[in-house]
Structure 1
């Protein structure tokens, strides 16, 4: 990792700071029984901090604006870990409470069970955090579960024209929250349980809801089903590869880190999503949060299957279906058919060439 002390952070995370212990085992035990833990990893959570550390492993300059931690052993572990990773930002210490702790338990199916400490007193320290790091950054990341404490940071980003990435998860179910955050958000990552088990209409419904609220880029994650991203009229569905899951902890944050990596490096939409899915898929194959090298992630990303759609007039249209229409049919001159072919010509051939170049360069 490169030294970033004199470099303005490209990424700034805003949110909770807590140490975490991640325990990997075969299967969660029944109530009042036990299980053998194969490996224990430690890291710094929540998602904003995970992403900051993950991006540092890919040499992106990052910073954290977080909650205060206790002036104790665990609090200093958090500060020392962020410093060692090269994450900028001052960690504040307090004697008013002990550093909160999180414990995650992951099984072979990729499921995770977690126990965390989050009190209003701890989250309230976000309201007095110094926001000066945001001004020169290229992206601010916030989590919806930190509540209204994130609004001040989002408004600061808006004042300086800094894009905001909101991890909204299931928050889209609350219309009042969507209305409150939508005008401050550039990229929104959400999830729906129905989409995670492969229900396409649920995925499209959430994407439509986010997009109609005014959010420029809507991301719907679907765990092992991959994800869908809507930006303007462009819709891309990327299917996740089949992998043997060992530890699902931090997979969502790793996906976010992957997409942000692409965004900060000027990737187009498809390449950003491919990189994000590949990074998250590789992450779950090993315990802990040691990231795979960019080169390996790109190699997997180039092999992923994608579907393309057009979003227009509040409707989603499958490009492949439009292209399969007969050249002499009654719809050949329809605007959607024409636009579908234009998009295919714009993206599909170009992508094939780029993927060949990527594969060739990896071999060489």
Structure 2
């Protein structure tokens, strides 16, 4: 099974559930449940890949605090190689508080060490013998942005393929050199909002074609509409799988894990999309992005059953 290096951000998700309405300043309310789980796009994808059977080396930064130790312990229990994690005493580990009600949710994030990862943190030893490098949350990892072209070239020179999930741009400028990076990337995994923002169009099919013209295999996650990619000049669409969803947190990151798992096994593009859709859907069966992640058997069974 392929070894994947994931270079990215780490934070904890604290999910408070059973909230009837969103809080009003100056008041206090009670939640009926609380759950602490690993968060961040990179970490959820890494744990998803490990659950599917891939060997994963994680490179990231955490604070010298309880949250950082919690995330490292979770990674080690899942079998991830954590030798590349830097404990940064100058910054706390990131935290997202999710307030989850019956019909809506609200998120508040403290970024902490999320922005502190640098390309130099990904040493040659981390790349040696690996098959693939994955990076998520481009816009949140501001210190990694300028280093990514060099890091990607180093990875490719070492024989690795490369994938990138941009994440949402909080500044909504959709710049910061990302389009210039895409010709160096093998697989690009935006959602529909991100793809349209980067391509400068409101049409998701047009966005797919514009971004694909820059070089990578582009896969657009489109929520309930499923996903789409270009195949031989035509738009290939795969519908979403119907499951009894509890929480969609991390569904896109588990989608990434499913796609990369199948892609690294050299499965056809349509099969990769179905594995991605299956892993994304199955992850929504419980709260948080990691508590219901699919095994390879789970995903294969759903793919075999059909949408």
TM-score range, shorter chain: 0.7 to 0.9
Deviation at 1:195, TM superposition (A): 9.0
Do 2:19 and 2:99's aligned partners in 1 also have CA atoms closer than 8 Å? no
Taking the aligned partners of 2:280 and 2:262, their CA distance within structure 1 comes to: 14
- Alignment correspondent of 1:202: 203
Taking the aligned partners of 2:238 and 2:173, their CA distance within structure 1 comes to: 24
Do 1:108 and 1:246's aligned partners in 2 also have CA atoms closer than 8 Å? no
- Alignment correspondent of 1:174: 174
Taking the aligned partners of 2:29 and 2:230, their CA distance within structure 1 comes to: 42
- Alignment correspondent of 1:247: 247
- Alignment correspondent of 1:154: 152
Do 2:15 and 2:35's aligned partners in 1 also have CA atoms closer than 8 Å? yes
What is the TM-score of this pair, normalised by structure 2? 0.82
Within-5 A mapping of 1:247-266: 247-266=247-266
- Which structure 1 segments of 5+ residues have no match? 1-6, 306-364
- Alignment correspondent of 2:77: 84
- Alignment correspondent of 2:275: 275
| Structure 1 residues 268 and 106, CA gap change in structure 2 (3 angstroms) | farther
Taking the aligned partners of 2:117 and 2:76, their CA distance within structure 1 comes to: 20
Please report the RMSD computed on the Cα atoms of aligned residues, expressed in angstroms: 3.0
- Alignment correspondent of 1:301: 303
1:123 aligns with 2:103: no
Do 2:14 and 2:34's aligned partners in 1 also have CA atoms closer than 8 Å? yes
| Structure 1 residues 275 and 25, CA gap change in structure 2 (3 angstroms) | farther
Taking the aligned partners of 2:258 and 2:29, their CA distance within structure 1 comes to: 33
Higher gyration radius (CA): 1
Taking the aligned partners of 1:301 and 1:108, their CA distance within structure 2 comes to: 30
Superposed CA deviations along residues 54-104 of structure 1, whole A, max 9, x for unmatched, are 12122211110112x222222222222211111113222232233232223
Find the residue that maps to 1:40 and give its secondary structure: strand
Give 1 or 2: higher helix fraction: 1
Deviation at 1:148, TM superposition (A): 5.4
| Structure 1 residues 178 and 274, CA gap change in structure 2 (3 angstroms) | same
Deviation at 1:234, TM superposition (A): 5.1
Do 1:106 and 1:247's aligned partners in 2 also have CA atoms closer than 8 Å? no
Taking the aligned partners of 2:181 and 2:35, their CA distance within structure 1 comes to: 34
Taking the aligned partners of 1:122 and 1:255, their CA distance within structure 2 comes to: 22
Deviation at 1:246, TM superposition (A): 1.2
- Alignment correspondent of 1:49: 43
How many residues in Structure 1 have an aligned counterpart in Structure 2?
A: 291
Within-5 A mapping of 1:26-45: 28-32=21-25, 37=31, 39-45=33-39
Do 1:164 and 1:187's aligned partners in 2 also have CA atoms closer than 8 Å? yes
| Structure 1 residues 30 and 23, CA gap change in structure 2 (3 angstroms) | closer
Segments ≥4 residues shifted beyond 6 Å:
none
| Structure 1 residues 84 and 236, CA gap change in structure 2 (3 angstroms) | same
Taking the aligned partners of 1:225 and 1:70, their CA distance within structure 2 comes to: 38
- Alignment correspondent of 1:139: 132
Do 2:168 and 2:194's aligned partners in 1 also have CA atoms closer than 8 Å? no
Q: Which has the higher contact order (CA 8 A, sep 6+)?
A: 2
